[in-house]
Each structure stands twice: as C-alpha cells, then as structure tokens.
Structure 1
Amino acid sequence: MIFGCHLSIKDGYAGAAKKAHSMNAGAFQYFPKNPRSLSVKDFDRHDAVLCKAFCKENAILSVSHSPYPTSLTPNNKQKREQVIHSLLNDLEISEACGSIGVVVHFGKETNQLTLLESYQLIIEMLNEILSEWEGNAKILLENNPGLPGAFGTTLEELVQIRKLCNYPEKIGFCFDTCHSFSCGLWDGENMDELLEKGTELGYLDELKVVHFNNSKYDTRLGRDRHAPIFGPGYIKETQFDQLVQTPHFANIPFILETPKEEMPHEKEIQLLQKKWGDHF
C-alpha cells in the first residue's frame, strides 16, 4: 500500500518531496500555491523539476490540491475567469512537479441555478479549462460531503460529468473516505455494494487517489470533520480494513488529511504501514 499525507511547500516543491521521503511516505499532497487565493503563481520551475526528479528517483507519488476558493460552479463571470486561469496554473505546476494531477471539489448547487444548470456549468468549466490543457496531469474530481442525496455525493454524478465532457481522458477521480461516510455513499458496511457499483460505472478504472480520513461524526449526518484513522473516529479499523484490502486500491496513494495536532502524520503513517503496509 502507498501511504502519504498533505504537506506544506514552505520549503518548496522539492522540499515537500524530501519531507515525504524523510517520513518514509510513498506519496504526498500539496497546495501548488496560496491555498486561499486564485491568483496565478509564477512558480519556481527549477524547484518543480527537482521535485519531479527526486520523486522519480525515490518512487514517491505526488498530487496537488486546488486552493479553497476554487469552484466549478462559480456564481459570476469574474469568478469564472479566475477559476479557469487558476486551475490551468495548478495543472501547469502539477505537470512540472511530475504529479498525477490536481484534486478539485465537484462543485456546489447554487440558488441561482437549477440542478441541471449546475451540472451543465461544471461541464462547461471543465471543457473550457481542458481545451487549453495538453499535459499529462489530470483534473481529479473529488466526491462531496453532505447529507444523503446532496449535490456531488454519488458515483453516478462523478462518472456522468466525466463522460459528458469533451475531454474525459483528462479527468480522473479522488475518493474521500470522510466525505463518502458523511453522506452514506460508503457507510462502513456496504463495501461490496460500493465496489460493485464502482466497477459497473467504470469509476474505479479512473480512480487515481484516496483521501484517507476518519470521521468525527456518524454516517449520513452530512458532517465533514476529519479524524485520525486510529482513534475515536466513527469509521472502525475493521471497516478501513475492507477498503485497504481491496485489490482496486493496491497502487493508489492513500493521502491523510487528518488533524495532525491530534496525531502527527509521521506517527500515523508509521501505524498505517505497520498495519497495512505489506498487504499487497
């Protein structure tokens, strides 16, 4: 199994890669720029090249995560243009660092649009961005948290959006365990059903990364509060065991986004590797 965590780029992209290596992690996630801004970053290309080379030499996988304000359902023209330019910048940085792609939240239903119009806007945004993108880094759509049936919480939505885009080959998926638990997509007891649906829809074929998080709240409450894998979270170790033991996930990086003030990521990765590291 491949375990890693989200890391800061305060020491550069190569610095984050070296930090992952020092933690004995097989992967890491990073914000390509200021996580609270959509400003386009004139990044250090030499640093990115060093990151890519270091990861290749040490068999480390990396993935970036788009800044918090990124939305595939922007509520005005100005925000739309900002998101498009920002995501193209994120893709360029991810490509330079040798990353799998950039994780992007599915989008949100807005009061200004009908449900159908919201889906159509996501497709328009993806088409506009990807029509200008020729690299190997993908946009990785992440499933939303929320109450059962909330916008962006089903595999069907994710797969259909990808299928209806003009560039499906440039889109993959990111599966967040806490998000899926919050809405009951995966409630800890329905792994067989989830895998059957994921296989039937082709979702698992395009799954590139897992956000590996426990939940501070019980399933189907719509609450997105991450907890350490080992501890008082509502997802049991035996339920995580079913997920980790699934062959579909053998070569996919499991990235911790757990609260490191509750358990340092170095320690959590050690525990993960001790329990599941040699499974495959």
Structure 2
Amino acid sequence: MKFGCHLSIRDGYLAAANHALAIQASAFQYFPKNPRSLSIKNYDACDAGRCREYCLEHHIISVAHTPYPANLTPTGKKKVRLISSLLNDLEIADSCGSIGAVVHFGNQTSGTDPLSAYQLIIETLNRILAQWKGKCKLLLENNAGPPGSFGTTLEEMVQVRNLSSFPDKIGFCLDTCHAFASGIWNGENTRTFLDRGTALGYFDGLEVIHLNNSLYPAGQGKDRHANIFSGGYITEEQMHSLLSAPELRQIPCILETPKNSENGHEQEIMQLNKKWGMLH
C-alpha cells in the first residue's frame, strides 16, 4: 500500500515530491495554489514537469486538493470564479502528473431543497469538465456531518457522477474521518460498507483515501481529525478491517492528521508502512 501526507509547495512542486521521498512517503497531496483563494495561478510549468518526471522515476503518486473556498454549489458570479479556478487547479495537477484534484462535494444552501443542490452540482461539474481535456480527474470527497446529512453517502457520490455528462472525468476521494463522523462507516460495519460500495460501483471510481482518525465517536457529525495510532475513536483493528479489504488495497492513502513532531508526519508514515505497507 502507498502512504503519504499533505505537503507544502512553498519551495515548488518538485521540492514537495522530493520531500515525500525523504520521509519515505510513496504518495502525497498538495494545494496547487493559495488554499484560501480562488484566484488563478500563473504556475511554473517547468517545475511542474520536473515534479511529474520525479514522481514517475520514484513511483510516487501525487494528488492535488482544491482551495478551501471551492464549493460545487455556487451561484451568480461565484460560479464563474469557481469554474475558472477549478480548471486552473486541474491544469496544474495534470502538469504535475497527479491522478486527480480533490474537491468537496458541496453544500445544501439555506432555503434550497436537496434536489436543487444536486442539480446545481451536476450543472457545475458539466460546465467545468466540458472544457477540460486533460487526464487528471476531479475527485468528489464525501462530507462530514450527522447521519443523513447532505453529501455524506456513497449513493450521492455515485449518482452525481452517473448523472453528469462526463462520468469518466470524475472520481472519488474517501475521507475515513468523514465517513466515521457521518456514520456510514462506524468501524463495526466494514463488510456491509464495502458490499454497499461495491454494489453501487463506488470503488470502481475511488482514486484516493484521506486516511484520518476521528477525535469524536461515530455518528456525531464532527469533522475533527486525530492521528491514526493515538487519540482517536477508530481503533487499529477497525482501521485494519478497512485497509486490508481487497477493494481498498491498491488505493493511495493520504494523511490529514495533526502533525505530532517537528518532522511532521514522518513517524506516522513509518508506522503505517510497517503495519500495512506490505498489504497487496
């Protein structure tokens, strides 16, 4: 299995890939630009290309994460900005050789019904992907929230992808903390969760896992990440039941857990490689 974490591009895309190798990460995630803005970045294409070649040489998988303000349910002028921003993210990620760009599913805005929100997400995706000709995919991430909340279920991810005009350009990112918080996976129902995902075709589109423990018990809807081996409510046994499943063994896992030392996630990645790295 491939394990990694989110890394800074402060010194460039190639430097982030180099950092991944230095901490024995075989995968990494990065923000392609300012994570707090939807502004367009004029990026260094040569640096991105060197990142791509470096990752190919060292068998490292990379994935981009779109900025925090990115939301697939925008309206008015915000929609125009979002579409331009996500196309910019996809272009940068593609140049870096990344498998996809993770985007949060979207929200049901106040006063709207769920159906309208789903239609808005599909319309936004279609407008973006009609213009996108690269290999990099947009990866829909499941939301955290109380059971039954908007954007928390595998059914929603799959249906939005199926109803879009460009399903082959859409994939999924499974956040384990979000799944735990929303109760779709509570650590004790792993086989049921996996069987449901298989029946829906969800795992056929799964490209990356955000591997996070949860600071709160299952079903409380709280998006607070904890470290894999300490401080969380997901036990090692429960995490093992998920990571050892054939459906997930080939999917790269990215930590978004608290940094527990000056060296960031190096120790946690070492523990993950030791415990689950040889699963295949």
Partner of 2:54: 54
Give the Cα separation in 2 of the matches to 1:100 and 1:162.
17
- Give the drift of 1:224: 0.3
Q: Which residue of 2 aligns with 1:219?
A: 218
Structure 2 residue aligned with 1:151? 150
Query: Deviation at 1:111?
Result: 1.1
- Aligned partner of 2:93 in structure 1 is 94
Task: Give, in whole Å, the separation in 2 of the partners of 1:200 and 1:256.
Answer: 27
- CA shift for structure 1 position 112: 3.9
TM-score by length of 2: 0.98
Structure 1 residue 170 corresponds to structure 2 residue 178: no
Shift of 1:261: 3.9
Find the counterpart in structure 2 of residue 6 from structure 1. 6
Distance in 2 (alpha carbons) for counterparts of 1:112 and 1:31:
32
Distance in 1 separating the partners of 2:111 and 2:121: 14
- Counterparts of 1:74-153 in structure 2, within 5 Å, are 74=74, 76-153=75-152
**Which residue identity is paired with 2:159?**
Q
Q: Post-superposition shift, 1:113?
A: 2.1
Cross-structure match for 1:195? 194
Q: Which moved more, 1:255-264 or 1:7-16?
A: 255-264
Supply the distance in 2 between the matched residues of 1:34 and 1:58 (Cα, whole angstroms).
Answer: 27
> Secondary structure of the equivalent of 1:205?
coil
Q: CA deviation at 1:101?
A: 0.7
Structure 2: how far apart are the matches of 1:113 and 1:79? 17
Deviation string, structure 1 residues 55-110 (Cα, Å, up to 9, x no partner): 00000000000000000011x31111111000000000010000001000000000
Aligned-partner SS, 1:62:
strand
The aligned counterpart of 2:31 is 31
- 1:194 match: secondary structure: helix
TM-score by length of 1: 0.98
Give CA-to-partner distance per residue, 1:5-31, whole Å, 9 cap, x none.
Answer: 000000100000000000111100000
Hey, what does 1:186 align to over in structure 2?
185
Count of aligned residue pairs for this structure pair: 279
Alpha-carbon distance in 2 for matches of 1:118, 1:267: 41
- With 106-115 and 180-189 compared, the bigger mean Cα shift is at 106-115
Aligned residue identity for 2:56: K
Map Cα deviations across residues 125-145 of structure 1 (whole Å, 9 max, x no partner): 000000000100000000000
CA distance in 2, matches of 1:232, 1:140: 28
What does residue 161 of structure 1 align with?
A: 160
Residues 136-172 of structure 1: per-residue CA shift (max 9 Å, x gap): 0000000000000000001110000000000000000
User: Which deviations, in whole Å up to 9, do the C-alpha atoms of 1:223-248 show, x marking residues without a partner?
Assistant: 00000001020000000000110112
CA distance in 1, matches of 2:165, 2:20: 36
Deviation of 1:249 (Å): 1.4
Amino acid at match of 1:211: H
The alignment partner of 1:246 has SS state of coil
Amino acid at match of 1:163: N
CA–CA separation in structure 2 for the residues paired with 1:81 and 1:248: 37
Q: What's the % identity of the aligned pairs?
A: 57
Question: What is the aligned partner in structure 2 of residue 256 from structure 1?
Answer: 255
The CA distance in 1 between the partners of 2:7 and 2:264, in whole Å, is 12
Which residue of structure 2 aligns with residue 17 of structure 1?
Answer: 17
SS in 2 for 1:37: coil
Aligned partner of residue 204 in structure 1, secondary structure: coil
Q: Unpaired segments of 5 or more residues in structure 1?
A: none
Aligned letter for 1:190? Answer: N
Runs (4 or more) in structure 1 with deviation over 6 Å come to: none
The SS at the match of 2:5 is strand
